[in-house]
Amino acid sequence: MAKYKVGLISLGCDKNRIDSELLLGKLNEKNEIVNDPNKADILIVNTCGFIESAKQESIDAIIEMADYKKKNCRMLIATGCLTQRYSEELHKLIPEIDIMLGVNEYANIQKYIDNFFNANKNKICVCDYSDISINEGKRILTTKSHTAYIRISEGCDNLCTYCIIPKIRGKYRSRSIESIVSEANELVSMGVKEIILVGQDTSVYGVDLYKENKLHELIRAISKIENLEWIRVLYTYPEEITDKFIDEIANNNKVCKYLDIPIQHISNSVLKRMNRKSSKELITNNINKMRSLINGLVLRTSLIVGFPGETEEEFNELKEFVKNIKFDNLGVFKYSQEEDTPAARMDNQVSEEIKDNRLEEIMMIQQGISKEKNKHKIGKIYKVIVEGKENGDYWFGRSYEMAPEIDGAIFFKCDKILNIGDFIDVLITDALEYDLIGVVYHESCE
Q: 151 - beta bridge partners?
A: 198
Instruction: Give SS3 for 19.
Output: helix
CA 57 to chain centre: 17
Q: Cα separation of 4 and 77, whole Å?
A: 14
Binding region for [4Fe-4S] cluster: 13, 48, 81, 156, 160, 163
Quickly list DSSP for 175-203. PPHHHHHHHHHHHHHTT--EEEEE-S-GG
Cβ–Cβ < 8 Å for 213, 169: no
Instruction: Give SS3 for 47.
Output: strand
Binding region: 13, 48, 81, 156, 160, 163
CA dihedral over 439, 442, 445, 446, signed as positive or negative: positive
- With CA atoms as reference, report the closest residue to 203 among 265, 272, 157: 157
Q: Cα separation of 5 and 2, whole Å?
A: 7
Cβ–Cβ < 8 Å for 271, 264: yes
CA dihedral over 182, 397, 372, 438, signed as positive or negative: positive
Q: Which residues contact 63 (CB under 8 A, 6 or more apart)?
A: 94
Quickly list DSSP for 264-279. B---HHHHHHTT-S--
Q: Cα separation of 117 and 121, whole Å?
A: 5
CA 442 to chain centre: 35
Dihedral in degrees, nearest 10, Cα atoms 129, 178, 20, 51: 50
Instruction: Give SS3 for 303.
Output: strand
Alpha helices in 274-383 (DSSP H): 280-293, 312-325, 352-375
